[in-house]
Structure formats: C-alpha cells, structure tokens
Amino acid sequence: MDLSLDMLTSIPSVISHHYKAGTINWPMGIYITLVHIVGVVGALKVLDCKMETLMWAFILWPISGFGITVGVHRLWSHRSYSASFPVRFALMLCNSIANQGSIFHWARDHRVHHKYSETDADPHNATRGFFFAHMGWLYVKKHPEVVRAGKELDFTDLYEDPVVMFQKKLDPWFALYMCFVFPAQIATRFWGEEFWNGFFVAGALRYMLVLHFTWLVNSAAHLYGDHPYDVLSYPAENPYVSFFAVGEGWHNWHHKYPFDYAASEFGISSQFNPSKLCIDLLAAVGLVWGRKRGTAAWEMGRARRDRDREAGVPLPKAPPRPWEVKKAAKSD
C-alpha cells in the first residue's frame, strides 16, 4: 500500500505473517535495526560535536551519494559511460563509505530490478507497498523469483573489473571500516574531534540518513510524481527525491532510458542532478568517456505521441494500483 496510516498500522500483522512463514531475514534485519539505533545515538551527539565534524558529515552525504549514483548505479549497473581506473577506484572508495553492499551485489540486484520492475522478481517490488519498497524488502528473504532471475543474468563485466572484485573480496569489513571508522579517524586527526563523536555523527548518523535517501528512490520515486515519458510505468519524476539522492529522482525518464548516464532528460540548469555534473566534469578532463544519452530516442517517441494525439488516439492509461483496487473494493 502507499504511504498512509493503514500502512503503518499493518506493519505488526505483516511482521507476524513473515515470522510464521519463516521468511524473515534475521541477519539483515538485525543489522538494519542496529544501524538505526546507532544513528539515533549519533543524533543525540550532534550538539557535542565541533562545527568541523558537522561539516564533514554534511560533505560525506554527496561523497557517499556519488559512490551510489555516479558509481554503482550509472557506471557499474547500467554501463552508461566508461571510466578510467583512477575514477573507478575513487568511486569504489566512495561506494564503500556509502556501505550499501558491495558493488557486485548492488549492481546484480539493480539489474534484476530493472528487468523485472514491479513483479515478484523485483527485489523491492513497489506493488507490495511503500514500506516494502523502502526498507521492508531487506527484512525478509528474497522472493524465489528474485533468486531465479539473479541466476539468469550475465555479470561477466563485473567479474572482469578488478576494482569490483577487490571490494567484493574485502566485503563487508572494508566497507564497515570506511563507513564508520574512517570518518571518525579523519575528524580526530585533522581537527581534534573525539573519536566517538566522529564515529556516531559523521559515521552512523550520516550513514542512516543516506540509506533513507537512497531507499526513497525505490519507494517514493516509484509511487509519487509525474509520468511524462512512460504513463504506464510506476517510476515517476520526483524532484524531492532527486534533491536528497543527489540527482536520482528523475525516475520515469530513468526507467524509460536506463542506459542514459544523466538519468534525466535535462541538465543541472533545469533539473537538480549533481551526479550528471560530476560525470560531465570528469569527461571534460578526459577521465571518463562514452557517455550515452536517451534524448534521441525520446525525440522519436515524443513525435510519435504527437502524431497519435493529432489523430485522436488517447494516451494509454495505467491500471489501478493494488491498494487503489483494495480501497475501491472496501468502498463498494
């Protein structure tokens, strides 16, 4: 269901259902719960920190965000551009600070998500509701269709990338170090912050927030917003998500043209997309190349849509979503 009071009140019954079915993912569920506990501790320590530590935590938001958006998403998942070894290595470090699973596993699940979006084979299927798409999918075991789909896709390119394999070999210890300990060490070394303040604020609190910013792409950007490019698609254009996820909220375009390195139709002057700007700057100095765009395909699609409109052919209409069907049935 969508984000509503019904969704919140149904969570206990959903937990009970999965407990009885034996489908709770206990290791991941315990980990995500602990992440939120230490994140709350970080929130309580904010006033104890030096201003430099708070600025460091803020800067780590886009740094870790780029490890997801510029790195594992647009480069490794979709191969929307090519990057030199120094860029790939730097993005791997940023991705490790983000600590959202290894590049290999993130890219594997994301490719499955795109191929089977909003089906049982989608790891965070939005038809199962806002909470499931946001974070509930991490608390339960993968649907058998997700496992099957993951075995069918080809990940040879990931296996052949030494940067990806280096991180995968050290997973999860290197990412845990980069996410929690490294930020604290920087704060302690360069401006004399107490280690645990850096650990809980620049590490844990920042990590928890960036996790939710990323999860909003799976939940809010699949449920709320406009659909100018594909009216039948769940993913939507959501500027609020794009702000928090450093440019990843233009999701209707992205699911229509997943090969597009910008993940949006327009640039930074029209749509908030610092991730595109980062890639463009790297391209300007020759560190990345082969940037792919979906604009030509959209121009042809838009022309076809205009011709249909002139001929009186209406746009297709998306079917009601599961919770809308449920609400309609209750009202009858």
Q: Tens digit of pLDDT for each residue in 263-290?
A: 999 988 899 999 999 999 999 999 999 9
Lowest mean pLDDT among 10-19, 54-63, 218-227, 273-282: 10-19
Cis before 123? omega within 30: no
Residue 1 lies in a domain: no
Residue 4 lies in a domain: no
Residue 6 lies in a domain: no
Question: Which residues, including other chains, have CB under 8 Å from residue 232's CB and lie 6 or more apart?
Answer: 316, 318
Average pLDDT, the chain: 94
Evaluate whether 97 touches 64 at the Cβ level (below 8 Å): yes
Residue 237 lies in a domain: yes
**pLDDT at 133 (0 to 100):** 96
Which tokens sit at 239?
């500027």
pLDDT at 254 over 60: yes
pLDDT at 328 over 80: no
Indicate left, alpha or beta for 286 from its phi (over 0: left) and psi (-120 to 50: alpha): left
How confident is the model over 125-149, as pLDDT tens digits?
999 989 999 999 999 999 999 999 9
**At 11, is the pLDDT very low, low, confident or very high (cuts 50, 70, 90)?**
confident
pLDDT at 315 over 90: no
Please state the rounded mean pLDDT for residues 244-269.
96
**At 1, is the pLDDT very low, low, confident or very high (cuts 50, 70, 90)?**
low
The residue written with tokens 């809980």 in the block is 200
If one counts the domains in the chain, the total is 1
User: What's the rounded Cα separation, in Å, for the pair 272 and 244?
Assistant: 10
Please state the rounded mean pLDDT for residues 8-23.
88
Question: Which residues, including other chains, have CB under 8 Å from residue 46's CB and lie 6 or more apart?
Answer: 54, 201, 205
Please state the rounded mean pLDDT for residues 3-13.
79
H/E stretch holding 314 reads none
User: What's the rounded Cα separation, in Å, for the pair 3 and 5?
Assistant: 7
pTM of the model as a whole: 0.94
H/E stretch holding 289 reads strand 288-289
What is the bridge-based pairing of β-strands 82-83 and 288-289?
Answer: antiparallel
Strands (E), 175-299: 288-289
Residue 7 lies in a domain: no
**At 321, is the pLDDT very low, low, confident or very high (cuts 50, 70, 90)?**
confident
Domain enclosing residue 256, as ranges:
20-331
Evaluate whether 276 touches 262 at the Cβ level (below 8 Å): yes
AA letter at 151: K
Share of the chain above pLDDT 70, in %: 98
User: What's the rounded Cα separation, in Å, for the pair 323 and 318?
Assistant: 14
Evaluate whether 78 touches 248 at the Cβ level (below 8 Å): no
The CB density around residue 305, as the number of other CB atoms within 10 Å, is 15
AA letter at 33: T
**pLDDT at 332 (0 to 100):** 65
